Amino acid sequence: MHAFTYNTSDPWETTKGLKKTIVADPVLDEKNRPDEKDWVIVKLKTAGVCGSDRGIWFRTAFRDNIFESLKREQKSQRIVGHEFFGEIVEIGSAVEKNFSYKKGDLVSAESHITCGKCYQCVRGEKHVCTDEIILGIGIDGVFAEYIKVPAKILWKTDVNKIRPEIACMQEPFGNAVHATTRVDVRDKTLTVMGCGPIGLMSMLIAKALGVKKLIAVDPNDSKLEIARSFGADHTFKTRRDPADGYDAELVKKIREVTDGVGTDIVMEMAGFHASVNSALQIVRRGGDVILFGIKNGDIVLRQFDRMIVRGITLHSIIGRQIFQTWETTQRLLEDQSNGIQTHLWNDLMNQGKGTLLPFHEATTETFEQHLLAHPKIVLTY
């Protein structure tokens, strides 16, 4: 089968992109791997491209994770990608009994394969599993025609209620659900720093959950335009690298539209030094900062004492709560009254115009062209 892969023969520091190559079809091998009695093979229908995938494409994230996993598997290439929707075409001998899945079922999946045995897992905190393996990073992913995964991570999806192009985005939408529900947003003022796909999804969720005032911040005008269509009450453009470590002008503007108080909640979805520090300046006394954006390297917190004396609470968000977040995701996406699916398809996905890339026609060059042109793209099969 064809797949988009990273190969260690391409030096990480001096290359970019993924190469389309021919790899062996996945097979269930219960004789040599008894655990695969609980695994399935899925034929892909759609696959979303995430910010994590961009990080691998442009070599800004996940180098060590990929290299360590390949060394463990004694392999040299990794199939990338973790957001998918597809049809089960083969099941292990125990799958139907243990998980009630069968051939022909349409599924999406959690991207974190958790151990179920560590301190966190046995206490219901699987999203911070000690020994997790992430699709497309620690094990082969979904930028291929087929994928082999454990049945325990699957999530059955009704295409009569969630369209296939959105169904493959349930995983990142779940990130947004987890981040947006960490604290109660109802009747609160909320600033979202970073209008990438998950930041934008967070706005839709916040609106559905009754946020009082929604402010969007990004350096990109086209993303702010989408934010306005998603219901942002105010949008502000920020500087990428302000000299003083945070965007003082932005802080002033947001104070002006919040009667000098600042916002109750700030969701930091970009992970840049200036964005994190601006978030700490924007939030009100006693407010909450949700940290979701992630970048390699260090961040220096400016005016650290301010965070303490003003009683600001920081919340770090990773992944999804398994499977509570998926249940909330399903309810929000299947509820036609909130308009979330419509906004995702019409505004974020531009009704498929330029945002859908047929997998069998895709090349490294066309893949990158789509990546650079749109905040969210989906491979179709």
* Per-residue pLDDT at 245: 86
pLDDT class of 297 with cuts at 50, 70, 90:
confident
pLDDT class of 36 with cuts at 50, 70, 90:
very high
β-bridge partners, 215: 191, 234
pLDDT class of 182 with cuts at 50, 70, 90:
very high
Q: Can you tell me the distance from the alpha carbon of 285 to that of 140, in angstroms, rounded to the nearest whole number?
A: 45
Dihedral sign (CA 71, 74, 79, 85) = negative
* Per-residue pLDDT at 40: 98
Pair of tokens at residue 326: 């998926």
* Per-residue pLDDT at 358: 98
Q: Provide mean pLDDT across the span 10-38.
A: 97
Q: In the chain, which ranges are E strands?
A: 2-7, 19-22, 39-49, 77-79, 83-91, 106-109, 112-113, 133-134, 146-150, 154-156, 189-193, 213-218, 234-237, 263-268, 283-291, 313-316, 356-358, 377-380
Mean pLDDT over each residue of the chain, to the nearest integer: 96
pLDDT at 300 over 90: no
pLDDT one-digit tens code per residue, 134-167: 999 999 999 999 999 999 999 999 999 999 999 9
Q: Provide mean pLDDT across the span 359-376.
A: 96
Closest CA to 267 of 171, 185, 324: 185
- Of 168-177, 179-188, 242-251, which gets the smallest average pLDDT? 242-251
Q: Can you tell me the distance from the alpha carbon of 17 to that of 292, in angstroms, rounded to the nearest whole number?
A: 24
pLDDT at 239 over 90: no
* Per-residue pLDDT at 103: 98
Q: Provide mean pLDDT across the span 219-224.
A: 95
pLDDT one-digit tens code per residue, 305-329: 989 999 999 999 999 999 999 999 9
Pair of tokens at residue 340: 């979330």
Query: What does the CA dihedral 56, 48, 39, 96 come to, rounded to 10 degrees?
Result: 170
For 132-145, the DSSP string reads -EEBTTTB--SSBS
pLDDT one-digit tens code per residue, 115-132: 999 999 999 999 999 999
* Per-residue pLDDT at 123: 94
Q: Is 101 left (phi over 0), alpha (psi -120 to 50) or beta?
A: beta
Helix, strand, coil proportions of the chain in percent (round to 5)?
35, 25, 40
β-bridge partners, 213: 189
pLDDT class of 194 with cuts at 50, 70, 90:
very high
pLDDT at 296 over 80: no
Work out the angle between the directed axes of helices 197-208 and 221-229 (0-180°, nearest 10): 20
pLDDT one-digit tens code per residue, 332-343: 999 999 999 999
* Per-residue pLDDT at 240: 73
* Per-residue pLDDT at 244: 74
* Per-residue pLDDT at 299: 85
Percent of the chain with pLDDT over 90: 94
Are 49 and 105 contacting, i.e. CB atoms less than 8 angstroms apart?
no
pLDDT class of 214 with cuts at 50, 70, 90:
very high
pLDDT class of 203 with cuts at 50, 70, 90:
very high
pLDDT one-digit tens code per residue, 72-116: 999 999 999 999 999 999 999 999 999 999 999 999 999 999 999
